[in-house]
Structure 1
Amino acid sequence: MKSYIRVKAYLLILIIVLPSYSQSNNSPVPRESKQLIIVLTDSTSSTKGFLYRCDKKNGTWKLISSKLPIVLGRNGLGWGRGLHQIDSSLLPVKVEGDGKSPAGVFTLSYAFGYAKVETMKNLKFPYIEVTSMLECIDDVKSKYYNQLVNNNEADTIDWQSSEKMYFADVYYEQGIVVDQNINPIEKGAGSCIFLHNWATPNETSAGCTEMAPENLKEIINWLNYSDYPILVQLTEPLYRFYQQQWELPVLENLNP
């Protein structure tokens, strides 16, 4: 189970590190975080939006890129399980198979891709090479639910449904794992959520956040594990609602 343990090790690191985060009384974004990815849409049902990147300098978030187009799940957004508190009066709660991308605040544990790690010269972030054996399990009855597993090294093949990572064409050529529903994993609360490539900008996903490959490559090379990168994914109205409370940067309107 060497490869399985290797994949899980990054999750274990996060479980150890997360309790040491210093969060303010109001914000789920850890004070130690110096990298922020923000994804905004104009409504809960929207399948298109924009991504922003910010660095924290001298305690203040600074926008470092122009907004980048993204696409989301075919049914928009629903609250995921991350660092935030869920208020179901503001947004539906995500469940397995609902076609929604997770809204909220999430850590990012590692990147993945078809490229060999030795060719990734600019990496400052944990990276998993995708092989033909790697699957992400979305079967709620499996003990490996919402985990990446090498199928030839698992104790038992107890799943009927999974994402076969190596056979997803351009989509999983590169990506970033979003820590949605991991600590602890709740059966049926959503699985296998990534930032990954799109094939075209006119599609939707099953729940992931997709973008142009060249933009995602730049993001992967920018991420620094020691800077505790965080994803904030919300509707634009919810972002405005939480902006001061969560100490988030002021951004331009989604539709100026």
Structure 2
Amino acid sequence: MTPADMVLTRQGMRFMGRMWPCTLGRGGVSAHKREGDGATPVGLHRIVGLLYRPDRMARPTDWAVPIRPGDLWSDDPGHEDYNLMVRAPYPHSHETLRRSDPLYDLVLLTDWNWPRAVKGRGSAIFLHRWRRPGFPTEGCVAFRPDHLHRIAGLIRFGTRLIVPTALT
């Protein structure tokens, strides 16, 4: 591990010498992640992208990509675009990235089951804003909005998110 690694613990995420409160998936952590189980997958995941809403904030880093109207994320394990960003209209199962609420205003993308997704292993694991403290996600890692902005400014492409089998 390096100081630039993000490491999940029972107390939150340890990163850059401090502890950041966060919430995980409603299914806890799992070494056997499956689509729809609500679990945060165990493993070493690299940050491979940063998305943001340009109508709601300034570009947070020079490598951030704007979320445009019609941007979606395919979560249909039966489709060839599974676990990829797609554009509307898209008739298969998906998540809307440009939401009316602020949940996805800033999204860090991990390489979980990407870029060549294994069907049913679970779609994207994002780092995004939490709904409220302690409210679980569908498998993503969620943070207080100001913390997420600070983390986005500190990480680099390829920063590692480490999810241990047993949170200590």
Q: Would the TM-score normalized by the shorter structure come out above 0.5?
A: yes
Partners of 1:123 and 1:35 in 2: how far apart? 17
Q: Of the two structures, which has the highest relative contact order with CA contacts closer than 8 Å and spacing of 6 or more?
A: 2
Q: If each structure's helix is expressed as a fraction of its own residues, which one has the higher value? A: 1
Letter in 2 for 1:149: V
Q: Is the 8 A contact 1:143 1:158 kept in 2?
A: no
Which of 143, 146, 167 is the aligned partner of 1:211? 143
**Which residue of the partner structure matches residue 84 of structure 2?**
147
How far the C-alpha of 1:199 sits from its partner, in A, is 2.0
**Cα distance change, pair 34–168 in 1 and its aligned pair in 2 (3 A):** farther
Letter in 2 for 1:167: R
Partners of 2:27 and 2:100 in 1: how far apart? 21
Question: 1:183-202 residue pairs with structure 2 within 5 A?
Answer: 183-202=115-134
Name the SS of the counterpart of 1:67 in structure 2. Answer: strand
How far the C-alpha of 1:207 sits from its partner, in A, is 0.7
**Which residue of the partner structure matches residue 164 of structure 1?**
96
Partners of 1:236 and 1:73 in 2: how far apart? 14
Question: 1:44-55 residue pairs with structure 2 within 5 A?
Answer: 49-53=11-15
Name the SS of the counterpart of 2:33 in structure 1. Answer: coil
**Which residue of the partner structure matches residue 164 of structure 2?**
234
Name the SS of the counterpart of 1:218 in structure 2. Answer: helix
Name the SS of the counterpart of 1:176 in structure 2. Answer: strand
Pair 1:37 & 2:6 matched? yes
Which of 49, 61, 72 is the aligned partner of 1:135? 72
Partners of 1:158 and 1:164 in 2: how far apart? 12
Q: Is the 8 A contact 2:129 2:142 kept in 1?
A: yes
Question: 1:220-231 residue pairs with structure 2 within 5 A?
Answer: 220-225=152-157, 228-231=158-161
Pair 1:123 & 2:61 matched? yes
Partners of 1:66 and 1:224 in 2: how far apart? 17
**Which residue of the partner structure matches residue 23 of structure 2?**
71
Q: Is the 8 A contact 2:113 2:124 kept in 1?
A: no
- What TM-score, normalized by structure 2, do the two folds share? 0.89
Pair member with larger Rg: 1
Q: Percent identity?
A: 24
Name the SS of the counterpart of 1:119 in structure 2. Answer: coil
- What TM-score, normalized by structure 1, do the two folds share? 0.60
CA offset digits 1:33-57 (Å, max 9, x no partner)? 873111123xxxxxxx41111xxxx
CA offset digits 1:161-188 (Å, max 9, x no partner)? 1110112512101110011011531000
**Cα distance change, pair 234–168 in 1 and its aligned pair in 2 (3 A):** farther
Which of 100, 110, 131 is the aligned partner of 2:49? 110
Q: If each structure's strand is expressed as a fraction of its own residues, which one has the higher value? A: 2
Partners of 1:181 and 1:99 in 2: how far apart? 15
Name the SS of the counterpart of 1:108 in structure 2. Answer: strand
Partners of 2:124 and 2:18 in 1: how far apart? 28
Specify every segment of 5 or more residues in structure 1 that has no aligned partner in the other structure, as ranges.
1-28, 42-48, 54-63, 80-92, 238-253
Structure 1: 4+ residue segments shifted above 3 A: none
